[in-house]
Amino acid sequence: MTNTSDKSNKKKDDPTGLHKGLTSYGDSGFSLFLRKAFVKGAGFTDNALDRPVIGIANTGSAFNPCHGNMPQLIEAVKRGVMLAGGLPMDFPTISIHESFASPTSMYLRNLMSMDTEEMIRAQPMDAVILIGGCDKTVPAQLMGAASAGIPAIQLVTGSMLTGSYRSERVGACTDCRRFWGKYRADEINDQEIAEVNNQLVASVGTCSVMGTASTMACVAEALGMMVPGGASPPAVTADRIRVAERTGATAVAMALSGLTPDKIMTVKAFENALRVLLAIGGSTNGVIHLTAIAGRLGIDLSLDRLDALGRETPVLIDLKPSGQFYMEDFHAAGGLHALLRELKPLLHLDTMTVTGRTLGEELESAGPGFPQAVVRSFSDPIYPQGGIAVLRGNLAPDGAIIKQSAANPDLMEHEGRAVVFENIEDLVLRIDDDALDVKADDVLVLKHIGPTGASMPEAGYIPIPKKLARAGVKDMVRVSDGRMSGTAGGTIVLHVTPESAIGGPLAYVRNGDRIRLSVKKREISLLVSDEELARRVLESPVMRPTAPRGYRHLFLKTVTQADKGVDFDFLRPSDI
């Protein structure tokens, strides 16, 4: 990992509160006079306006049930800010929900990060509280805050409660995929799938398993950007509301001390975050998001370093999809501190947190913990290595990843015949056709779902062809340049880089080619000669997608590959 950031510390004479970022009318005194006149129209007094201003990014939306507790969180945050002597000012930003965003939430993550950054810059605030939850909102907010450079603190909405279906405990969204797989295999009928649909999401909040939302919550706390204990409380609990109040008070202290993101999210902090990502069996999306956040600060996260950390960091959290429990259980077991105690010998304990204390000091003050069954010891891991492994080979020269902790051990050393789908439309058209030439030991390949190919949807979780599902096949090796949900499992190779839409080797895979996967050797290879590949490139050159206007034009022109975080190249420092 390298760091090229050289941000300077806050100067004592920098403007604060309502004096910050005055609109220019050629007369700064008049600018402040006018600003105060308008805000007093909302009923504020001079006493209130003289306090540190704490912005609160409000991502509440009827299209985002993961953020359905936003009103309660904002109320509690404001209480914490006012108790600490600050002035809370909430403001709206873009809100993204995984299931409601078309064509994909990843397409809008960078836009939300830009919205967050610019609203922080445009409006006068001494610190900002970022309230997010659903998958892309937390990384977008941390990316924006990292670029904006003022004191910032993350608050997540928290996980949903689990439900019950015919006395079986269920929760989104690992169980969503499990039951849908049963439905596709004709193991349950229309009535049963409708009934379970009513029980999978028992309350507002983010997914109840170690999906991307829970992963990013844990990662944000590990980075030091969240109050200790803030990652695990469920959305509708009093614990979550108390975390919100503490977040408000902490933001005021950060505003007064000038504790900015670059002082917290250092190279060492990102290594801690990667350790946690690996130890929780976290979402593969976490790799992309951490890379993008780090990139905003001039820090280059290496896939090779991730893999090296993974070889010595076992999976210790017994949560779905790698294990059996849910986020409620993780919280009851002590939350992230229970894991950090186990990881302590591997962590950089001198990294700073939003409290102004180091990670080591926070762990010391948290106490020794207590007996529980969710967080395992090093001697009894869920999986002996980190949840994610990095693969390379002639099919992925710049890398690919696999969630090995949620894969089928019998398939992780495998060679099979490629069954190729050129794009999502081709997949939808043919995957359930009984005439599809496919066998259980084949390798399903899906092209053109990378960043430029299709804005990188979670279509890497290629469904098992229906005729094989009916025959009892539960897993196959699957390869794509796309993503999959953190709630999903299977022997699935993702983020193949370079992607097929810009001419990566994946573009030239043909039906019947042999593909070799060896997780042990960290290999994903197309068993075709270099000469044959070169011939195919000349025979079928790839034209990079373009768009004539708007945000899509900007996205396709400037988005980076998965190994660089799928961020826009102009939002990263130019020297990394």
Domain identity same for 145 and 178: no
Q: Tell me whether strands 299-300 and 388-393 are parallel, antiparallel or unpaired.
A: unpaired
Q: Which of 366, 399, 433 is the last residue of a domain?
A: 366
Cα 488 → chain centroid? 14
Does 24 fall in a domain?
Answer: no
Do residue 355 and residue 418 come from a single domain? no
Q: What is the dihedral of CA 518, 523, 526, 530, to 10 degrees?
A: -140
Residue 24, pLDDT score: 87
Q: What is the pTM of this model?
A: 0.95
Interstrand relation of 492-494 and 168-170 (parallel, antiparallel or unpaired): unpaired
Residue 527 resides in a domain: yes
Residue 573, pLDDT score? 85
For position 12, what pLDDT does the model report?
59
C-alpha to C-alpha distance for 29 and 232, rounded to whole angstroms: 46
> Could you tell me if 136 and 92 lie in one domain?
yes
Contacts 24+ apart (CB under 8 A), 556-559: 556/452, 559/110, 559/451, 559/452
Name the nearest CA neighbour of 157 among 199, 209, 213, 117: 213
The reply to whether 469 falls in a domain is yes
Residue 537, domain CATH: 3.50.30.80
Do 146 and 217 sit in the same domain of this protein? yes
Tell whether 296 and 235 lie within a shared domain. yes
- For residue 447, give both structure tokens: 């092209």
Q: Record the tokens describing residue 98, joined without a space.
A: 């995984």
CATH number at residue 59: 3.40.50.2300
Task: Check whether residue 180 and residue 213 sit in a common domain.
Answer: no
- Residues 247, 317 within the same domain: yes
The strands making up 152-156's β-sheet, listed across from edge to edge, are: 87-92, 53-58, 127-132, 152-156
H/E stretch holding 152 reads strand 152-156
Same domain for 537 and 425: yes
The predicted pLDDT at position 6 comes to 42
- Structural domain ending residue among the three candidates 197, 220, 252: 197
| Assigned domain for 434 exists | yes
Domains contained in the chain, number: 3
Q: Could you give the CA distance from residue 215 to residue 92 in angstroms, rounded to a whole number?
A: 24
- DSSP state, residue 276: H
Per-residue pLDDT of the chain (576 residues; tens, 9 = 90+): 655 444 444 555 788 999 999 988 889 899 999 999 999 999 999 999 999 999 999 999 999 999 999 999 999 999 999 999 999 999 999 999 999 999 999 999 999 999 999 999 999 999 999 999 999 999 999 999 999 999 999 999 999 999 999 999 999 999 999 999 999 999 999 999 999 999 999 999 999 999 999 999 999 999 999 999 999 999 999 999 999 999 999 999 999 999 999 999 999 999 999 999 999 999 999 999 999 999 999 999 999 999 999 999 999 999 999 999 999 999 999 999 999 999 999 999 999 999 999 999 999 999 999 999 999 999 999 999 999 999 999 999 999 999 999 999 999 999 999 999 999 999 999 999 999 999 999 999 999 999 999 999 999 999 999 999 999 999 999 999 999 999 899 999 999 999 999 999 999 999 999 999 999 999 999 999 999 999 999 999 999 999 999 999 999 999 999 999 999 999 988 755
Q: How many Cα atoms are found within 13 Å in the side-chain-facing hemisphere of 357?
A: 12
- Which residues constitute the domain of residue 108? 2-16+52-161+203-366
Let me know whether 156 and 188 are in one domain: no
Residue 29 lies in a domain: no
Q: Do 275 and 336 belong together in one domain?
A: yes
- Whether residues 330 and 435 share a domain: the answer is no
Final residue of a structural domain among 197, 214, 242 = 197
Residue 371 lies inside a defined structural domain of this protein: no
Contact 66/204 with Cβ under 8 angstroms? yes
Is residue 529 a part of any domain in this protein? yes
> Do the domain assignments include residue 555?
no
Cβ of 242: how many Cβ atoms within 10 Å? 16
Distant-in-sequence, close-in-space partners of 275: CB < 8 Å, separation ≥ 6: 222, 309, 313, 343, 346, 347
The beta strands (E) that lie in 233-353 are given as: 299-300
Rounded to an integer, what distance in angstroms lies between the CA atom of residue 351 and that of residue 175?
A: 37
Q: Do both 409 and 519 map to the same domain?
A: yes
Instruction: Say if residues 399 and 302 touch (Cβ distance below 8 Å).
Output: no
